[in-house]
Amino acid sequence: MTETPGYIQKIRADFPILQSKVHNKPLVYFDNAATTQKPNLVIERIKNYYEKQNANIHRGVHHLSQVSTQDYEDARIKIQHYIGASKSSEIIFTKGTTDGINLIASSFGALLKEGDEILISAMEHHSNIVPWQLLADAKKIELKIIPIAQDGTLLMEEFERLLTAKTKLVSITHISNTLGTINPIENIISKSHAFGAKVLVDGAQSIQHGEINVSTLDCDFFVFSGHKIFGPTGIGILYGKEQILDEMPPYQGGGDMIKSVSFEKTTFNELPFKFEAGTPNIVGGIALGSAIEYIESIDKQSAFEYEKNLLKFTEKELLKIDGLRIFGTAKEKTSLVSFNVGDIHPFDIGTLLDKQGIAVRTGHHCTQPLMDFYEIPGTLRASFSIYNTVEEVSQFLTALKRAISVLS
């Protein structure tokens, strides 16, 4: 790659923070796996909501409540269509990916019994480990771990060996937030269903890097966070198949999730409201709908392909640096590169990069078992989005080499 395409520069202009400076240096934002930046469309939608229509939703008869309710439910429909769900009632608003996984652990977990088994992989984020450990302790369920190879790919033969008639749920990341590995999710779903197991897909790192169709995937649950796809923080989505969601008890009790309440008995609301207790993050839901509008307005396929090419270019250039090791070398990967340089601590390099205006992530990335597997304290992680440029990669490489020379 020699220069950034014009359509990417056009996209970049929609994100005002990218014109910022850090330590008097132009900001190079390579921490998109942690959170993406927000386009003007989303920022203006949030501002407009609080300036012109702020009201609680679903029960108000007054104008502002009805307008806000309509916008909130319209956003649900936009998200339904974007991920290919068959019904808007299968779209549950949550606080984010972590909240969605905890909802499933609580509500689907209530249907499980002692001796049942849950499978997760060795590359999972802590949010897809800890809820299942808590459930396993509470209900004497066995939690099994799918091992990985050194290149960061799942050992599929081991996965198939672990599947049994006792397997009730396979909870798996679509794309590793540390390695960038794209897991063979269709194969995993098919093999799991053959044993009668349900499948939860953690889409936190895949939702912003490719087309998602939950109906085609045939997954039972899919979760993601709004802030990973140009929306606000504090809002996320749980997709679940209607039949399964109907069988699950509510996650929380309170307003909006009830049909009727007396001191003797409470009956619960229909989907999706059964799982949406209390006043929701109204503006978050509406602004997430705007984020979906934004990504639908661009040439998504070209942008996604550009991202992959930017990653390949970056990895090729990084490997020219003496002592640099990339963690996660799967053939099928996207969006990010994790690496270390010799014995230099990643935090030290990250600090010197920051002084040069380069934002990367350092640490264990909420995947401590993965760090133990590689016997390292952490990595540097550069993660890309559709607004990053070839020129930024060049600035990053120059800054990285300068940091290494100081620390060597």
The 3-state DSSP composition of the chain as helix, strand, coil percent (nearest 5) reads 45, 20, 35
pLDDT band at residue 3 using 50, 70 and 90 as cut-offs: confident
For residue 366, indicate whether it is catalytic: yes
- The residue among 393, 404, 220, 395 whose CA lies nearest residue 311 is 393
Q: What would the pLDDT profile of 343-357 be if each residue is shown by its tens digit?
A: 999 999 999 999 999
Q: What is the pLDDT of residue 252?
A: 84
Q: What would the pLDDT profile of 4-13 be if each residue is shown by its tens digit?
A: 999 999 999 9
Taking the C-alpha atoms of residue 168 and residue 188, their distance in angstroms, rounded to an integer, is 14
Is pLDDT at 2 greater than 80 in this prediction? no
Verify that 245 and 364 share a domain, yes or no.
Answer: no
Q: What is the pLDDT of residue 260?
A: 75
Verify that 291 and 305 share a domain, yes or no.
Answer: no
Count of the separate structural domains present in the chain: 2
Verify that 318 and 363 share a domain, yes or no.
Answer: yes
Centroid of chain to Cα 275? 20
Q: What would the pLDDT profile of 151-194 be if each residue is shown by its tens digit?
A: 999 999 999 999 999 999 999 999 999 999 999 999 999 999 99
Given 27, 67, 110, 366, the catalytic residue? 366
User: What is the Cβ-side half-sphere exposure of residue 270, based on CA atoms within 13 angstroms?
Assistant: 2
272 cis-preceded (ω within 30 degrees of 0): yes
Taking the C-alpha atoms of residue 234 and residue 241, their distance in angstroms, rounded to an integer, is 23
Q: What is the pLDDT of residue 263?
A: 79
Phi first, then psi, for residue 348 (nearest 5°) are: -65, -45
C-alpha separations of 125 from 100, 175, 335 in Å: 14, 10, 16
Beta strands in 31-124 (DSSP E): 91-94, 117-121
pLDDT band at residue 326 using 50, 70 and 90 as cut-offs: very high
User: Are residues 334 and 326 in contact, defined by beta-carbon separation less than 8 angstroms?
Assistant: no
Q: What is the pLDDT of residue 179?
A: 98
Taking the C-alpha atoms of residue 83 and residue 296, their distance in angstroms, rounded to an integer, is 12
Domain end: 262, 296, 330, which one?
Answer: 296
Give the β-pairing of 25-26 and 91-94.
Answer: unpaired
Q: What is the pLDDT of residue 108?
A: 98
Verify that 329 and 244 share a domain, yes or no.
Answer: no
Q: What is the pLDDT of residue 32?
A: 98
Is pLDDT at 264 greater than 90 in this prediction? no
pTM check: above 0.85: yes
Q: What is the pLDDT of residue 70?
A: 96
Phi first, then psi, for residue 340 (nearest 5°) are: -130, 160
Q: What would the pLDDT profile of 357-384 be if each residue is shown by its tens digit?
A: 999 999 999 999 999 999 999 999 999 9
The one-letter amino acid at 194:
A
Taking the C-alpha atoms of residue 254 and residue 277, their distance in angstroms, rounded to an integer, is 5
Task: Print the domain residue range for 49.
Answer: 43-296
Verify that 126 and 62 share a domain, yes or no.
Answer: yes
* In-domain check, residue 231: yes
Q: What would the pLDDT profile of 203-225 be if each residue is shown by its tens digit?
A: 999 999 999 999 999 999 999 99
Is pLDDT at 16 greater than 80 in this prediction? yes
Q: What is the pLDDT of residue 341?
A: 98
- Assign residue 132 the CATH number of its domain: 3.40.640.10
User: Are residues 119 and 154 in contact, defined by beta-carbon separation less than 8 angstroms?
Assistant: no
Domain end: 242, 270, 296, which one?
Answer: 296
Domain end: 266, 296, 326, which one?
Answer: 296
Taking the C-alpha atoms of residue 408 and residue 405, their distance in angstroms, rounded to an integer, is 5
Verify that 247 and 322 share a domain, yes or no.
Answer: no
- The residue among 208, 171, 199, 362 whose CA lies nearest residue 292 is 208
Q: What is the pLDDT of residue 242?
A: 97
